[in-house]
Structure 1
């Protein structure tokens, strides 16, 4: 299936806000979406609300975490992702920089719906909504699925 990555390609040296997708093999975290969980999805799933944010502010104790917050996010964080967003109609967390979280090493890396062929992301991986749903429906908790993010050249080194 076709997909897109960060507007500045792949990197082994991911930093916050660099527009690059981190090279590596990663586990999937929680699947999510703006709608109720589809019957075909067995993977852990969270329906997003207007109060769901992913914090990408390196100065915050919440850095690289999903936070449910009912206050004004602009007063709490310098930077964040709104999880109830059209590109996140369906998606899954890619477990990059999660254990341990290293501030400034990059955050909010997801598999999500793309804007279209030939577009790019801020560092995530994206494909059509149909393909994202197919992937989420394929994920089986008993199988420990992983995603490989890499250029063809870097794939040999993984």
Structure 2
């Protein structure tokens, strides 16, 4: 199945249109994506794995996708010069890394999208996820964000090999 996130904030799920947030600076061609540009990369990105907070989802999310319980020490390297760029790491870490266990709960459910990961190219964007939206759907740093019930519905429908396509129109 292909899920579509539109630059205008629409997200398609089984014929329904949901609301989503994308990069606060809009979208950009996947090959032109750069670290820190606050843009969502246009293209089709396989849903690799779901990370979830076990204190929020004790039984894990309902999905056929591979799942992993997030640990307090989990991070994601966003330092282009580091050999673990755009890879999960354990905190503390000597290079720049995003904390995956967050107090704001936007990462209670995170779908790792297959952007710039096979292999990662330094500087072409890291940590492109689908995660929970903040209230009011403000723009993200490049991710796709959905309301909790909506991301749960996407996960319930998703199968291994499914993808999120980020489109301009």
Structure 1 residue 81 corresponds to structure 2 residue 103: no
Unaligned runs of 5+ in 2: 1-17
Structure 2 residue aligned with 1:53: 75
Structure 1 residue aligned with 2:122: 103
Per-residue deviation, residues 45-95 of structure 1 (Å, max 9, x unmatched): 11111110010001111100012x25x33xx11x21111121110120010
- Kept in 1: contact 2:33–2:41 (CA 8 A): yes
1-side partners of 2:40 and 2:61: how far apart?
Answer: 31
Point out the structure with the larger helix share.
1
- Kept in 2: contact 1:87–1:113 (CA 8 A): yes
1-side partners of 2:116 and 2:149: how far apart?
Answer: 27
The change in CA–CA distance for 1:39 and 1:112 in structure 2 (over 3 A counts) is closer
- Kept in 1: contact 2:21–2:138 (CA 8 A): yes
1:126 to 145, 150, 154: 145
- Kept in 2: contact 1:4–1:121 (CA 8 A): yes
The change in CA–CA distance for 1:39 and 1:63 in structure 2 (over 3 A counts) is closer
- Kept in 1: contact 2:101–2:107 (CA 8 A): yes
The change in CA–CA distance for 1:23 and 1:83 in structure 2 (over 3 A counts) is same
Point out the structure with the larger strand share.
2
**In structure 2, the residue corresponding to 1:132 is in which secondary structure?**
helix
**TM-score, structure 1 as length reference:** 0.87
Unaligned runs of 5+ in 1: 153-158
Structure 1 residue 6 corresponds to structure 2 residue 28: no
2:163 to 126, 134, 146: 146
The alpha-carbon deviation at position 118 of structure 1 amounts to 3.9
Query: What root-mean-square deviation, in Å, do the aligned CA atoms of Structure 1 and Structure 2 show?
Result: 1.3
**In structure 2, the residue corresponding to 1:27 is in which secondary structure?**
strand
The change in CA–CA distance for 1:39 and 1:93 in structure 2 (over 3 A counts) is closer
| Aligned residue pair count | 145
- Kept in 2: contact 1:37–1:45 (CA 8 A): no
